[in-house]
A = this chain, B = another copy of it.
Amino acid sequence: MSKYKKVYHDIKAKISNGTLVAKQELPSESELMQHYGFSKDTIRKALSLLEINGYIQKQQGRNSIVLERHLPKPQILSEIKTVSELNHSSSHQVKTTLSSLYIVQGEEELMHIFNVNEQIDFYRIGRTREIDGERVEYEVSYFDRRIVPFINRDIAEQSIYHYLESELGLKISHSQREIVFRYANEEEENTLDLGEYNMIVSVTSTTYLADGRPFQYGSISYRPDKITFASTATREIKHSSTN
């Protein structure tokens, strides 16, 4: 791991475990340089990362300060996390069930998003997520078969992302998402335990590889009481960097 990431993880850990407390000042950049034995550039990259991810607040002319930690419960919108990754931190019983897996061709929406003709086919995967025995999430996902030529039941029931990254060696880069709140359609009413609710939260996403090609499109429908989003917003464009 690079030096600036080591410093980032080190300070982040100190904030998480309470060694550094909210509103407290961090050591100055020059003190951190001495402490870690790294250059100014390296320390500054680590601090910028901490700021972007909402752990600290920098201000010219004074030491950085530690921010209050946002609640651990809600989904952080700036991270792509898979279900199994999310489950690590959860004390609830989560079960993923594959409800459908087949190949489709010529769907208008897909052809438009992937900018392809009706010759190209896609895996269509439907999955339901049960949390503590209630079906509260329903996911429909499409994968471009030119990039993901093979998926079976096993893979679809386990972690698809792990398969893509480890087995196929794909480099997943980023994802564009849109969140809407709308009435549930028939499919969602059938596959989810909506109870009294007649609306769902729908998160639609397109995911891209490091080389810029889109390879996945889909949406996840949530029962409204089972989802919360968190985000940190800044007043100006956030400085940034050297990568």
Within 8 Å of chain B (Cβ to Cβ): is A59?
A: yes
CA distance A228 to B41 in the complex (A): 39
Supposing A49-B239, A212-B65, A239-B243 touch, asked if A224 and B181 sit within 8 A by C-beta, the answer is yes
- Residue A95 CB within 8 A of the other chain: no
CA of A53 to CA of B177, assembled, Å? 14
- What are the interface flags for A124-141 relative to B under an 8 Å C-beta threshold, 1 for contact and 0 otherwise? 000000000000000000
Chain A, range 183-200, C-beta contacts under 8 Å to B: 199
Interface 9-mer from A13-21, A30-38, A76-84, A101-109 = A76-84
In the assembled complex, how far is the CB of residue A67 from the closest CB belonging to chain B, in whole angstroms?
Answer: 7
Query: Judging by beta carbons under 8 Å apart, are B242 and A41 in contact?
Result: yes
Q: Which of B8, B172, B225, B240 contacts A235 (CB 8 A)?
A: B172
Q: Are A212 and B67 in contact (CB under 8 A)?
A: yes
Q: Which residue of B lies closest to A231 (CB)?
A: B77
Size band of the interface chain A makes with B:
35 or more
- A235:B173 contact, CB within 8 angstroms: yes
> Chain copies in the assembly?
2
Given that A23-B212, A242-B45 are known contacts, is A177 also in contact with B232, CB under 8 Å in the complex?
yes
Query: Complex formed: what's the CA distance from A75 to B68 in Å?
Result: 25
Asked if B44 and A242 sit within 8 Å, CB to CB, the answer is yes
Specify the main secondary structure of chain A where it touches its partner. Answer: mixed
* Contact assessment for B234 and A44 in the assembled complex, using a CB-CB cutoff below 8 Å: no
Task: Given A65-B212, A78-B232, A241-B48, check contact A54 B173 (CB 8 Å).
Answer: no
CA distance A62 to B233 in the complex (A): 31
Chain A interface residues toward B at CB < 8 A: 4-5, 8, 23, 41, 44-45, 48-49, 51-54, 57-59, 62, 65, 67-68, 70-71, 74, 77-80, 171-182, 199, 201, 205, 208, 210-212, 224-225, 227-235, 237-243
A-B contact pairs, 28 of them (CB 8 A): A4-B241, A5-B237, A41-B242, A48-B240, A54-B174, A57-B173, A58-B243, A65-B212, A70-B176, A70-B178, A77-B233, A78-B231, A78-B232, A78-B234, A78-B238, A80-B233, A173-B234, A174-B235, A175-B233, A178-B228, A182-B224, A231-B231, A239-B241, A239-B242, A240-B241, A240-B242, A241-B241, A241-B243
